[in-house]
Amino acid sequence: MKHSIDVAVRVSPELSAAIEAIVNDPDRDEPPTLADALALIRRRDHGVLARDEGMHPQMHESLVAEIDSLVEEFGGEAPAIDFVAAKASECLSRIIEVAMENPLVRHEPTLGGVRDAMASGLTARLAGDGTIEPDEEQSLLAEIDALIDHYGRDAVAEEFVRFE
């Protein structure tokens, strides 16, 4: 069951990263639920917390409390993937940043606006400049189409930029 709101925006970046590590585990047979994620985070298991080595015990307890409240609100059987914040790939993030810097755009660019700019030559121009690889255009269009399918054309594109 899909939630009527985007629950991932209510999850801290640290918890989102921990849940993403669980979801992306290639050894899992079944898609993890929130209850599965809670159990793994409680046990500090599975390398779930990549930065766990130096994590303060209070931060760990904060993550446990945060996911515990999500389980309470949405149920333990809720798919864990629903609580991972979506981010654009590094390459799509570059395209979004270029769109954000465009002085002709009066408002914050939306996913639909970035998609339209990509289809109108932005991707080709960036490939010509060497900013992105020329053979990535189709995969980038597929990526932004997937974001649009999930979040809508009017979602503010900047919220999906991956800062790393």
Tell me the pLDDT tens digit for each residue of 8-34.
Answer: 667 888 888 888 888 888 888 899 999
Collapsing DSSP states into helix, strand and coil, what is residue 156?
Answer: strand
> Is 156 in contact with 99 (CB distance < 8 Å)?
no
Residue 115 has pLDDT above 90, yes or no: yes
Helix, strand, coil percent values for the chain (each to nearest 5): 65, 0, 35
> Is 62 in contact with 13 (CB distance < 8 Å)?
no
The first and second tokens of residue 97, run together, are 């940043």
Residue 145: the pLDDT is 92
Residue 1 has pLDDT above 70, yes or no: no
Please name the residue that has the structure tokens 């899992």: 28
Comparing 161 with 56, the larger pLDDT belongs to 161
Provide the β-strand partners of residue 79.
33
For the segment 111-127, the average pLDDT, to the nearest whole number, is: 91
pLDDT over 90 percentage in the chain: 34
Tell me if the pTM is above 0.75.
no
Residue 46: the pLDDT is 46
For the segment 103-114, the average pLDDT, to the nearest whole number, is: 83
How does the average pLDDT of the chain come out, rounded? Answer: 83
